[in-house]
């Protein structure tokens, strides 16, 4: 059994920015020389995630709109009320209760099959990163195990 790991560093630019990381993931898998196994792609964050879907620009707009409906930025979240909050308060604390609530319904990790030397992605499946908060430095960690 072999195990390889690598981090994708992302400087996100704005709320609800989507970024296609499919090619960077494929390059990592190819360089690993592992032919059969599992690849796990894990976000290291609670307000930025990864998921599989079609990378079509108008669809990404539909998704933004839908995510805003599920956990609207315009609503009030107790997490953002610094008059009452005492836990995990940082110097650069921002209004991001909505981001955490959006993240609740998106995967923190996706696991993909690697079979016959090929990452098993379907025709329309792209690996997408989404920033749910504001412009921030992000890390997505890939780990592959197999032989």
Binding site for its own copies (CB under 8 A): 1, 3, 5, 36-38, 40, 42-46, 51-54, 56-59, 61-63, 66-67, 70-71, 77-79, 81, 84-85, 87-88, 97, 100-101, 103-116, 120-125, 139, 141-143, 145-147
* DSSP conformational letter for 121: -
Q: In the 3-class helix/strand/coil scheme, how is 31-92 assigned residue by residue?
A: HHCCCCEEEEEEECCCCEEEEEECCCHHHHHHHHHHHHHHCCCCCCCHHHCCCCCCCCCCCC
Decide whether 30 or 56 has the Cβ nearer to its own copies: 56
**How many CB atoms sit inside 10 A of residue 130's CB?**
24
Q: Do the beta carbons of residue 131 and residue 65 sit within 8 Å?
A: no
Min dist CB 99 to its own copies, Å, is 10
The single residue listed with the structure tokens 């992302």 is 10
Min dist CB 13 to its own copies, Å, is 20
Min dist CB 14 to its own copies, Å, is 19
Min dist CB 91 to its own copies, Å, is 14
Structure tokens at 11: 């400087």
Min dist CB 26 to its own copies, Å, is 16
Q: Do the beta carbons of residue 51 and residue 110 sit within 8 Å?
A: yes
């Amino acid at each position: 059994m072999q195990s390889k790991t690598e981090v994708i560093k992302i400087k996100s630019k704005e709320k609800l920015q989507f970024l296609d990381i499919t090619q960077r993931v494929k390059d990592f898998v190819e360089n690993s020389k592992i032919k059969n196994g599992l690849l796990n792609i894990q976000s290291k964050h609670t307000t930025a995630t990864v998921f599989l879907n079609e990378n079509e620009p108008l669809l990404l707009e539909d998704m933004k709109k839908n995510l805003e409906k599920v956990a609207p930025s315009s609503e009030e979240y107790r997490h953002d009320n610094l008059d009452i909050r005492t836990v995990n308060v940082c110097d650069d604390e921002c209004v991001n209760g909505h981001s955490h609530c959006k993240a609740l319904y998106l995967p923190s990790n996706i696991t993909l099959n690697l079979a016959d030397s090929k990452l098993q992605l379907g025709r329309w499946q792209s690996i997408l990163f989404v920033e749910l908060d504001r412009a921030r430095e992000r890390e997505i960690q890939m780990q592959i195990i197999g032989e």
